[in-house]
Amino acid sequence: MENSEDEAENGKLPLELEPLRSLAPKFPTILGYDVETQSTDPLLVYATPSIPCSSSEQPQEAPASFSLPLPNSPVPIKATPISAAYPTLQHEDGSSDEDYKPLRKQKKTTPPKRAKRPQQAEKSNDSNIKRKSIRRNLDNEFNLCSSSSGNPTESVEGILMMFDSLRRRVLQLDEKEDASRRADLKAGTLMIQNNLRINNHKMIGHVPGVEVGDIFFFRIEMCIVGLHAPAMGGIDYISSKHKDETLAVCIISSGGYENDDDDSDILVYTGQGGNSRHKEKHDQKLERGNLALMNSKNKKNQIRVVRSAQDPFSNSGKIYIYDGLYRIEDTWTDTAKNGFNVFKYKLRREPGQPDGISLWKMTEKWKANPATREKAILLDLSSKVEDLPVCLVNDVDDEKGPSHFSYVAGVKYLRPLSQTKPLQCCKCPSVCLPGDPNCSCAQQNDGDLPYSSSGLLAKHVPMVYECSSNCQCSHNCRNRITQKGIKLNFEVYWTGDRGWGLRSWDPIRAGTFICEYAGEVVDETRMDIDVEEDKYTFRASYPGDKALSWNLGAELLEEKSTAVTSENFKKLPIIIRANNEGNVARFLNHSCSPNLLWQAVQYDHGDDSYPHIMFFAMEHIPPMTELTYDYGTRGAPPGFEGKLFKACKLKSCLCGSKHCRATNAITISFASCCGSTKTLLMLLLDDMESFFEKKNDHVDVVMEEIFGKRKVMLLKLLDDMEDVAVVMKEFGKKVTLLKMWMWLWRKYEKKMFDDMDVDVVMEEEI
């Protein structure tokens, strides 16, 4: 279970492990240092038998750099059975970090029991897919997970997103079998065995792609992105190749040795060793990590510092915060509470870095007393509709607040919904349990409960079915997560150029429920012409590339791919307008690199065309980070920038993403249906999916759906044949336009194209 996993992370539960063949990598020279004598702290590494070695290299040396595997990658993906994914983590006396507590000794004669694979996976029609095919599909999916531009931040995000996808799925399978093994270590081991890690070479200073303030919920996450290599050791260091000298590169401060955390820029760190629970306590020795810290004080090199904090949503969990670069100013020995001598190291934070742990301390103060929030306009925008106050803040200029609206917690349907599909109702006596074959709600979700025991969304699917009011399970059932309301401390704040935005004072874990999009559900066929122009409107269009890749990695578990494609998501007609009534979701801005996804959820009626729209976190989100999602709209095609007069108005995208689509066609006003053919055809292309879902003989209906109440017949669009030819030249590379051109050709049998050499045009475009 998720809580058990968090407890095991802090050493309170036993870890059942199997030996895993691994080799310590050889690291490159950094400032004259190399890893010849590797740290004795346990380190999870990978072995890659298929990589050839030169005579000058150590056998099976780690690759020099990492990028997510591409289809032509020379490094093969070797999917490993989940039964082999249990790493052996040896713990040597004196090498543990502050918060590590040795696990109970395991029986050597009895191997740990392995969780059985659920029957659903065994009965899959694709169970006989060849491994070669699986690897090829995995390669294609990895392309979606990371940008080919080499952006290190996106590479880190892709690796962590894949890890958490694996961890959630492993946990989901283990819960069905009532297994209690560490899902994070299973997922981490599978990632490492398949070479899915980055920044393999230890380095002094910042790690590419890891930003100050980034948060981690598991140590193995820091390992696979290269922030802190030892899986359990608190001091990460490199050693000289020609000298008996080591340098520290990263430390984790967890408070286990009476560390002083009062000053955000000063850290007094206690050395490692002498505090083992299962061996006699003794004075710390100047060796290994302690010696490396002493040398770093003399060399004055920068050291990465990771701080830890209590997870506000888990009594036993910790959150690790990358606090930036420090240097050691002083060292001394002191007497600990147990009477033994320990080493003390005083580190000072390098100036000019973004806020790290200091921001956490500030938000903790605000949560305790919202009145202490500076520049607050209103302490509770929700007027107590939400259980937690929603603070309204402007620390940029003199903007007084958003336009007036009524704060509501849910949606209002303006017309009766279809009741053709009856509501499912389970008969679980208390709560729904994983693996219960008698739970009808679980069966409606393909046999799996959609949430973990701690309430995290396991997979992004076309529809999640929660327990309804007809179910016999209690309100505490995990399958009612979104019905329990908002559990985060939100702040609506003025961004300046992007209007009002939304962020949280809490750290948010990937898969966490954020909020529902509340407002009035509008009938698409009867909506006002200017509804698209309303900036407080949600439309269930394209979910976004990042959201579609949130489930990647199922092949590492030897399962059928759970990657979601745009074909899996049937376009929903639901439109929610929050102009007059809404909640915090109306302040979610668009981003081409979002951190939230929207998920359709059903629980109170049977019309799947009008579900509840719920938002979940796609990644770990630090406090005070803006919450965004992909509106799913496409920008202006090449050549149309600044040319869309009368019929269409494009709104510039200001998300700031390095892969920003530049424009966002979310605001479209059909002030006139007499615009140029070029303009109207562009609008038609923006909704080509719904166009081709309809039968060809219902052209007038299709036009009404695309253009609202204005019925624009296709013949009107083709009045200007010369303009159509211009469109073909400018947008011939768009597959959707080519499909439309071919469809027109088939439907009207060339009657409308007498003035054009259509065969030549189509041949050129093809």
Contact yes or no for 689/702 (Cβ under 8 A): no
What confidence score (pLDDT) does residue 266 get? 93
What confidence score (pLDDT) does residue 281 get? 82
Strands annotated E in 438-523: 464-465, 490-494, 500-504, 513-516, 519-522
pLDDT, average across residues 457-474 = 94
pTM of the model: 0.72
Q: Which of 133-137, 181-185, 267-271, 744-748 has the lowest mean pLDDT?
A: 133-137
Instruction: Give the Cα separation of 171 and 182 in Å (integer).
Output: 8
What confidence score (pLDDT) does residue 542 get? 76
- Helix boundaries (H) for 659-733: 677-686, 688-693, 699-707, 714-717, 721-731
* Segment 4-32, tens digit of pLDDT: 444 444 444 444 444 433 444 444 444 44
What confidence score (pLDDT) does residue 661 get? 67
Residue of 5 and 261 predicted with greater confidence: 261
What confidence score (pLDDT) does residue 387 get? 95
Q: Which CATH superfamily is domain 2-354 in?
A: SRA-YDG (2.30.280.10)
Per-residue pLDDT at 689 exceeds 50: no
Confidence band for 182, pLDDT divided at 50, 70 and 90: confident
What confidence score (pLDDT) does residue 722 get? 45
* Segment 211-255, tens digit of pLDDT: 999 999 999 999 999 999 998 889 999 987 667 789 999 999 986
Confidence band for 152, pLDDT divided at 50, 70 and 90: very high
Instruction: Give the Cα separation of 284 and 268 in Å (integer).
Output: 16
Helix axes 735-748, 721-731, angle to 10 degrees: 140
Per-residue pLDDT at 379 exceeds 80: yes
What tokens were used for 626? 């803006």
- The DSSP output letter for 402 is P
What confidence score (pLDDT) does residue 144 get? 42
Instruction: Give the Cα separation of 124 and 399 in Å (integer).
Output: 57
Residue 646, phi then psi, degrees to nearest 5? 65, -65
Listed ranges 54-68, 426-440, 690-704, 748-762; the one with the highest mean pLDDT: 426-440
Per-residue pLDDT at 508 exceeds 70: yes
Task: Let me know the angle formed at the C-alpha of 510 by 485 and 222, rounded to the nearest 5 degrees.
Answer: 150
The class that CATH gives domain 365-629 is mainly beta
Residue of 360 and 178 predicted with greater confidence: 360
Per-residue pLDDT at 764 exceeds 70: no
**Average pLDDT value over all residues in the chain:** 72
What confidence score (pLDDT) does residue 739 get? 52
Per-residue pLDDT at 466 exceeds 50: yes
Contact yes or no for 632/543 (Cβ under 8 A): yes
Question: Which residues are paired to 308 by β-bridges?
Answer: 320
3-state secondary structure (DSSP) of residue 682 = helix
For the chain, helix, strand, coil in percent to 5 are 25, 15, 60
Of the candidates 427, 444, 442, 431, the residue with the CA atom closest to the CA atom of residue 474: 431
What confidence score (pLDDT) does residue 674 get? 36
Q: Where do the domains of the chain lie?
A: 2-354, 365-629, 651-765
Helix axes 721-731, 758-765, angle to 10 degrees: 20
Q: Which of 18-32, 86-100, 669-683, 752-766 has the lowest mean pLDDT?
A: 86-100
* Segment 306-347, tens digit of pLDDT: 999 989 998 888 999 999 999 999 999 998 888 889 999 999
Instruction: Give the DSSP H/E element, type plus range, for residue 222.
Output: helix 219-224
Per-residue pLDDT at 120 exceeds 70: no
What confidence score (pLDDT) does residue 231 get? 85
* Segment 87-103, tens digit of pLDDT: 333 333 333 333 333 33
Instruction: Give the Cα separation of 216 and 160 in Å (integer).
Output: 9
What confidence score (pLDDT) does residue 748 get? 46
Per-residue pLDDT at 512 exceeds 90: yes
What tokens were used for 503? 């962020």
